[in-house]
A = this chain, B = another copy of it.
Amino acid sequence: MRKRVGPRRPTQVEIAQRAGVSQATVSLVLNERTGAPVAEETRRRVQQAIEDLGYAVNPAARALRGMTVKTIGLYTFESVFPVDQRDFYHPFLLGVEAEAARLGYDLLLFTSANTAQRGVYAMGRNALLKADGCVLLGRHISRDDLANLAKEGFPFVFIGRRDIAGAELSYVAPDYVAPTAALVEELVALGHQRILLLRQTDGAEPGDDRELGLRQGGQAAGLTADDLVVEFSSGAEDIDADRVTGWVQAGITAVVVEPSEDNATGVALAEVAEAAGLRIPDHLSVAFLGSAPPPTATRIWTSFEIPRVEMGRAAVQLLVNLLEGADQPPLQLVVPCIDVRGNSISRVVRR
């Protein structure tokens, strides 16, 4: 934290001297809406002095007075910042950026905090305070951090759903329940009687939502709890031929997969099944409860897409509401996903 160098910038005091008024009057001219009237002639002289000296208000001083500074922070819990276009999070960033610009806010990327890898309450805390409020993003998020932030009353919006006991927080999240239920009902209508949900081990609330959708859909379609199987995967390495063929032998005819960022689990499942002679969808229907691997010439995965850009925009809108609305309560927004009709599920084939 070195000292700043270079020539000092003009202040309101200097403007005041040049215009022959007091500093307070300069401030009044700058923030015209305060109700106190300023004579037209004085206003002109002050404006002129501002022009002459090239004055610009000092954001630090303003912030110290407790004013907002029109800056929205963006914090991600992943180690690599998602400016990279290949990153799963990039569309969110696009939405956040676009909406911030539209609403006249600058965007502060907390890149420094992420190098420390220690969460908001290590390096990041000072950083967060540089912004009026913050959009938080990322799967591997610390619940404690979120709870603390909420308790402190720091304005933020989380992208994704997190329920914290004893604290209500603002988020914008996709609706995983409804499309999952719809997909399960569709599978039952296609003749599937035993359906497997493959969850991510770290799925948290998003995983819970898929499981809830599975049960709702299964119940609506007349399946019993025994017909709905839930297993976990922590990545590609725990999907092998034995496991997949085991499912089939146990009567599973359809697998619905909770995607991870890189979709390693889903890709592995497809490869292992294919290698074991199980064709998709003839022998095994597979669908992704979220973003699927990219389509190829022959394969379009049945799935649904998260409206990521729109969610980014919505998060900023919620945050600005929090910032500009007088003591606004926490806001939640659930947005619908978009069905992707693929060719990876089909009518069940009895052997």
Contacts and interface: CB of A to CB of B under 8 A. Distances in A.
A81 interface: yes
A127 to B, nearest CB: 6
A68 B114 contact: no
A323 to B, nearest CB: 7
Given A3-B67, A58-B129, A85-B85, 17 more contacts: A1-B67, A2-B67, A2-B323, A3-B68, A6-B153, A6-B154, A56-B126, A59-B129, A60-B64, A60-B69, A71-B108, A85-B90, A97-B111, A102-B115, A106-B110, A106-B112, A107-B108
A105 B109 CA distance: 10
A130 B153 CA distance: 23
A70 B106 contact: no
A124 to B, nearest CB: 10
Contacts of A39: none
Contact of A68 (B4, B66, B101): B4
Instruction: Name, among A3, A90, A111, the residue most crowded by chain B CB atoms within 10 Å (CB to CB).
Output: A111
13 contacts: A2-B323, A2-B324, A4-B68, A5-B327, A7-B152, A7-B153, A59-B63, A60-B61, A61-B64, A71-B108, A81-B97, A83-B97, A100-B111
Contacts of A85: 85, 90
Contact of A1 (B1, B68, B105): B68
B104 A112 contact: yes
A132 to B, nearest CB: 7
A83 B87 CA distance: 13
A129 to B, nearest CB: 5
A106 B106 contact: no
Given A104-B112, A111-B101, A130 B1 contact: no
Interface of A: 1-7, 9, 31, 54, 56-64, 66-71, 81, 83-85, 90, 93-94, 97, 100-102, 104-115, 125-127, 129-130, 132, 148, 152-155, 323-324, 326-327
Contact of A115 (B83, B104, B148): B104
A93 B101 contact: no
A269 to B, nearest CB: 29
A220 B339 CA distance: 64
A3 B66 contact: yes
Contact of A83 (B6, B83, B112): B83
B1 A62 contact: yes
B148 A54 contact: yes
A81 to B, nearest CB: 6
A100 B110 CA distance: 10
A129 B109 CA distance: 16
A168 to B, nearest CB: 14
B97 A67 contact: no
A6 B155 contact: yes
B130 A71 contact: yes
Nearest to A105: B112
A283 to B, nearest CB: 38
A60 B57 contact: no
B81 A106 contact: no
A126 to B, nearest CB: 5
B106 A111 contact: yes
